[in-house]
Structure 1
Amino acid sequence: MFAIATGNVTFLSGGVLMHHRMEKFMDESPAKKPKKTSDQAFDLWLKRGLHQLFDDVANEPIPEELLKLIEEDRRD
């Protein structure tokens, strides 16, 4: 079973960024076979590589102009 956790972030400009995240409850999922070592190694390699490539971009601040456009669109 999945659940969606929501949190709001308010910016100094008054804009609000909605944050959604899917969470899987461990106690409600059926037991699975452990992954093979090669699968685990690939998953770790992929995760590290993607973080290395995209963390800087994902952590950049949202431009004020974009926040204003979003806020104006919400009012309409």
Structure 2
Amino acid sequence: MFAIQTDNMAFPSGGVRVHHRMEKFMGDDPPKESKKTSDQAFDLWLKRGLHQLFDDVANEPIPEELLKLIEEDRRD
């Protein structure tokens, strides 16, 4: 996680200049459990979606011609 650190600098003219600096601080990373949970939720969503789209196709019988070609290739 990145944090923005602000340093206010005063000048003799009385003006204030704001200086921003982005730094990465150790230990500011999100907890691994929340990332793991979101990854699991995405994986579940993807798995269900793919099953909805492709289960019918995957359960179709393999054509005899294709099975013959596979068997011929195994012998060679």
Question: TM bucket by the smaller chain?
Answer: 0.3 to 0.5
Higher relative contact order (CA 8 A, sep 6+): 1
TM-score w.r.t. length of structure 1:
0.47
Which structure has the larger Rg?
2
